[in-house]
Amino acid sequence: MRTRTFTCLTIGLIGLLSAAPVHGAGEMKVGVGKVVITPKQDMWLAGYASRTRPSEGKLHDLYAKALALEDETGARTVLVTSDLIGVPAALVNDTANRAREKFQLPRERLMVTVSHTHTGPVLQDRLQHMYGLNETQTRLLEAYSKTLPDLFLQAIASALNDLQPCRVEWGVGRAGFAVNRRQYTPGGVINGANPIGPVDHDVPVMKISRADGSIKAVVHGYACHNTTLNLQKFSGDYAGFSQVYLEAKLPGATALFVCGCGGDANPLPRGTVEHAQKYGTELAEAVLAAARQPLTDLKGPIRAAFKEVSLALSPPPPRAEVEKQLQDSNVYVQRRAQLLLKTLHEKGALPTTYPYPVQAWQFADGMQMIALGGEVVVDYSLRLKYELGRERTWVIAYANDVCAYMPSLRVLREGGYEGAESMIYYGHHGPWAPAIEENIIGAVHELARPAKK
């Protein structure tokens, strides 16, 4: 059965509510905000279930950063980036509701993203159960998670208070360290290295310049896991180093990173701080090289759209099967069974669908940013750039909710970690239904502007 029930659809075409234009045709004002979000005390680090102790200090600070764009109609559109592993929908929705009240920011005009760093703190309700943490650690991560919406709102407020006329341009560079990690073996797909597997090496760059020509901000993206490091110190991994490098090279500028469809890509080889610095530098140099080339101007008005797609999961198992999993030899299957039984107790049934966020921002007759929730595999990026036009499309993942891996139909059929096993850690009862790819792509096409013929 195809499931295409859309639970929420909000499309905001700016200009509908506004009166006279506030700037000249196409002109934009831009503001940036930056807030340190490094936990004030050591706590459990996310990313790897095998960790045995909390963090021990930091390599560099973690940040939430905001970029606010005000177009000629006065409509404001805000991107939030963060050095975190993955924020759950509840946390983003709380932030969005408060941003609507406080700043009159419509839902479709707020995009909350994470870099997916694996050396950030564990967050509440997102992979939390995987770690089997004690009460002290649980209290710490819950208290920390509760501070995040406030920190995001602080960054947004700073950005909105910082608006000034700017030139906004974009272009695409290239960096080669992302490697497809789905290695095919006689025993199935393992998490290794697949040097001939698909990757997306584009480095989309948005350059924001003040009236005097100085650079105010650079937003850059890359489709690769932030998994260079698994040490016990807080860091933003390669994307943290890339932001530090860019801000050092461009005094007065704020660097923001968004992760692309790198669900099945790792930075390889990896494991040392030198690797993370090297990849951060490579990415930042790709950004600087792109920014030196002639770029394409981006103009307002910005059209924004957001919807939640009801994505079907595979049929839920009967209760008896879940109860049996409590005795499974795999401790993560046991922990998931406890979660599923809690859901059965509270709601009477396991979910058959998941409300999945899809968002699109379109600059006037120019580039469009497509933002997808979850750990999206590279097939989506390649397909969407093909279908919408690579020269006009920026695909962002890990946006608005990091709820699971999002396999393409190919990856779902092949199985392995991104296709099936990771659902255990995310607490879902089984894989996505085969309609996943067409449902997500279909939703993007509803919100996006078609490619130029």
Cβ 344 to Zn ion shortest distance, Å: 27
Nearer CB in complex with Zn ion: 31/47 = 47
d(CA 419, CA 201): 22
Q: In the bound complex, what is the minimum distance in angstroms from residue 225's beta carbon to Zn ion?
A: 5
402 versus 447: smaller Cβ distance to Zn ion: 402
Residue type, 311: L
Q: Which is nearer to Zn ion, 130 or 440 (CB)?
A: 130
Which positions ≥6 away from 83 have C-beta within 8 Å? 37, 62, 63, 64, 114, 115, 117, 120, 235, 236, 239, 240
Strand partners, 366: none
Question: Cβ 306 to Zn ion, closest distance in Å?
Answer: 23
Cβ nearer to Zn ion, comparing 127 with 217: 127
Cβ nearer to Zn ion, comparing 47 with 316:
47
Looking up tokens 């929730």, which residue turns up?
373
Nearest approach, Cβ of residue 234 and Zn ion (Å): 18
What part of residues 51-110 is at the interface with Zn ion (CB under 5 A)?
none
Structure tokens at 118: 């694996």
Shortest spacing between CB 398 and Zn ion, in angstroms: 9
CB of 333 to Zn ion, least distance (A): 19
Size of the site for Zn ion (CB under 5 A): 1
How many Cβ atoms from other residues are within 10 Å of residue 348's Cβ? 7
Q: How far is the CB of 318 from Zn ion (least distance, A)?
A: 30
CA distance 142 to 362: 36
In the block, tokens 């509908």 appear at: 16
Tokens of 408: 């393409």
Q: Which of residues 425-444 bind Zn ion (CB under 5 A)?
A: none
104 Cβ contact partners less than 8 Å away, ≥ 6 residues apart:
none
Q: Which residue is nearest to Zn ion (CB)?
A: 375
Residue placing its CB nearer to Zn ion in the complex, 76 or 182: 182
How far is CA 64 from each of CA 33, 274, 440, 452, rounded to the nearest angstrom?
Answer: 8, 24, 27, 35
Q: Residue 375 or residue 401: which is nearer to Zn ion going by CB?
A: 375
**What's the half-sphere exposure (Cβ side, CA atoms, 13 Å) at 386?**
8
Amino acid, single-letter form, for residue 244? V
**Nearest residue to 258 via CA among 135, 400, 382, 353:** 400
Closer residue to Zn ion in complex, CB, 162/375: 375
Tell me the per-residue interface mask from 325 to 364 with Zn ion, x by CB under 5 A, - otherwise: ----------------------------------------
Give the nearest distance from C-beta 177 to Zn ion in angstroms: 16
Q: Tell me the C-alpha distance between 13 and 301, whole Å.
A: 9
Q: List the alpha helices (DSSP H) in 195-330.
A: 237-249, 273-292, 319-325
Distance CA 51, CA 178 (A): 24
x/- mask, Zn ion, residues 362-401, rule CB under 5 A, reads: -------------x--------------------------
User: Shortest gap between Cβ of 116 and Zn ion (angstroms)?
Assistant: 6
Cβ nearer to Zn ion, comparing 245 with 354: 354
- Residues of the shown chain interacting with Zn ion in the complex, contacts defined by CB under 5 A: 375
